[in-house]
Amino acid sequence: MTRTHTRSPTVIRLLAGCVIGGVCLAGCGESDNNTPGAATSAVPPKAVTPVNVASTFERIQSQVFNVSCTSDSCHSHVGQAGALILEDGYSWDALINHIPSNPVAASNNLMRVMPGQPAATFLLSKITANLSAGEGTSMPYGAAPLSVSTVDVIQAWVAAGAPATGRVPGDDGRDLGSGGDQPGDVTLPPPANGVQLAVISPPVPRGKEETGCHYFKLPSDVDLDVNRIQVAVSGGSHHIHLYRPTDRTLDVPDHYEVCNMAVDFDKWELVVGVQLRRTDWELPPGVAYHFRAGEQLLMQTHFINVGSVETLGEGKVLMNLHAAEPGSVTDHAGSIFGQDKDVFVPAHSKTTLAAECVFPKTITLMAETGHYHFRGREFDTYLWDNGIRGDQIYQYIGYDDPPFLVHAPPIDFAPGGGVQWQCYWENNTDNDYSFGPFTDINEHCNWFGFYYPTDTSDEFITCVKQNGVAVTTVRHPQ
């Protein structure tokens, strides 16, 4: 078998700990790279206690930039993401009246920080997800968004002229940081062209978790070609999946129900799957997912309130489906759901297992992510050709959910080529963990890929390993 590539793939290493405190992966500034530096875990909200401080900017530096943006792979002297350093002693000079490195933001006459002009300040656009096409990813990437009160203080600082010293009006001294654990505290501006999907899950009792299925119709009376997807999630979310039925005539009354098992692939097609607090994905030029007007949808949510992963109050999901410009779409996108049902992690073990997905047709892989439960420590993917493992194309080391990785450029596969995904777990308990839906008593090793072109606008692929046999199926809903 032969395999072609748009490049010689190099491993993308995603290390936990890029950010401490549950905020900002690729940085809080202006990097237009959609590849995150790490995933972060939820942290309990800090008490809102006024403190005696002299400078608003000193608080932004110590409680936002230092906590969220200055690890080695972010806006430090080492990482310099977006050619921006946000370390103590450098950040103010680097922000004030500087043109962003993002060319679209620069062409839109934005500055990193424009004193006295919040509307012209790119930093505010990034932390509020108020971004135009091409302006990159909202921040913090894949983590709890900054709280509303924190954004308000940063905006007040900009409006007051972004001074390096002194307390500005609107800064009441409360702690700054992430707000993703506040009940219902998640915002996402709706798209200018497209639709916003919104679902709310009931509160999860402490020590419990719940996977729920939300059935509803696409809120559009015209077909949509979607070339950008944004997701914002509150609480301790483990995954958010958007599905549509393989039977396009299916009409399910709008409702919510508990659904703790995986959906039936013969009945439901995965469109997109994410598991980070914030996701902002622009598909390659000319590529889009096709949605039919008013079609049946299913959004599956998994909220957890166990250990350090907390969901306080209701769980909320906002998902923006941005519509492509008419006439701009040349290829439709499809999704791949890879599942290893042979997962078994014995007590007191360090276990590594792998599964393969061999593509029977030509595809271009544009993005991927992985999934495991609490014992997972590393997720990797490799090129796979006729039973031979090739270059590593994804590596995440960490406890939290593996982040969403956009391949730039995408990777081309000829028929017979494929991907091997691998999970590594450390189980220090007296319990064995086998395949199943619950994070506290089961384990997973799932792979999600996103590709183009498709032979039909509804095509998707499943790759399932069970009893040692891996089966790839290209599905064409009717």
Give the model's confidence band at 355: pLDDT under 50 very low, under 70 low, under 90 confident, else very high. very high
Is residue 115 included in any domain, yes or no? yes
For residue 414, the model assigns a pLDDT of: 97
Residues 365 and 244 grouped into a single domain: no
* pLDDT band at residue 217 under the 50/70/90 scheme: very high
pTM (2 d.p.): 0.67
Following DSSP, what letter does each residue of 10-57 receive, concatenated? ---EEETTSSSSS--SS-SS-------S------PPPP------S-HH
Shared-domain flag, residues 372 and 423: yes
CATH at 239: 2.60.120.310
- DSSP-assigned letters across all residues of 220-283: -SS-EEEEEEEEEE-SSEEEEEEEEESSTT--PPSEEEE--SPP-TTTEEEEEEE-SSEEEEEP
- Model pLDDT for residues 218-234, shown as the tens digit of each residue: 999 999 999 999 999 88
Residue 300 domain flag:
yes
Domain that holds residue 65: 25-182
- Does residue 146 lie in a domain region? yes
Domains in the chain: how many in total? 3
| Pair (352, 313) in one structural domain | no
Q: Which of 159, 182, 205 is a domain's end point?
A: 182
Query: Is 5 a member of any domain?
Result: no
Looking at 329, 359, 379, the residue that finishes a domain is 329
* 315 shares a domain with 374: no
pLDDT tier for residue 389 given thresholds of 50, 70 and 90: very high
On whether residue 109 sits in a domain, the answer given is yes
Model confidence at 20, in pLDDT bands (50, 70, 90)?
Answer: very low
Predicted local confidence at residue 238, as pLDDT: 66
| Boundary (domain end) residue, out of 308, 329, 350 | 329
Tell whether 352 and 448 lie within a shared domain. yes
Tell me, what's the pLDDT at 273?
84
Shared domain for 428 and 471, answered yes or no, is yes
Domain contains 281 = yes
Q: Tell me the range of 9-18, 34-43, 438-447, 461-470 where mean pLDDT is highest.
A: 461-470
222 shares a domain with 316: yes
More confident site: 104 or 14: 104
**Residue 68 predicted with pLDDT over 90:** no
The reply to whether 200 and 163 lie within a common domain is: no
165 phi and psi, to 5 degrees? Answer: -135, 160
CATH code assigned at 394: 2.60.120.230
Q: Is pLDDT larger for residue 238 or for residue 207?
A: 207
Q: Are residues 168 and 201 in the same domain?
A: no
Residue with tokens 């932004």: 60
Residues 388 and 309 in one domain: no
Q: What is the residue-averaged pLDDT of the chain?
A: 83
pLDDT beyond 50 at 327: yes
- Report pLDDT digits (tens) over 244-278: 999 989 999 999 999 987 788 789 998 988 877 78
Tell me, yes or no, whether 320 and 378 share the same domain: no
- Residue 406 falls inside a structural domain: yes
One domain, residues 322 and 215: yes
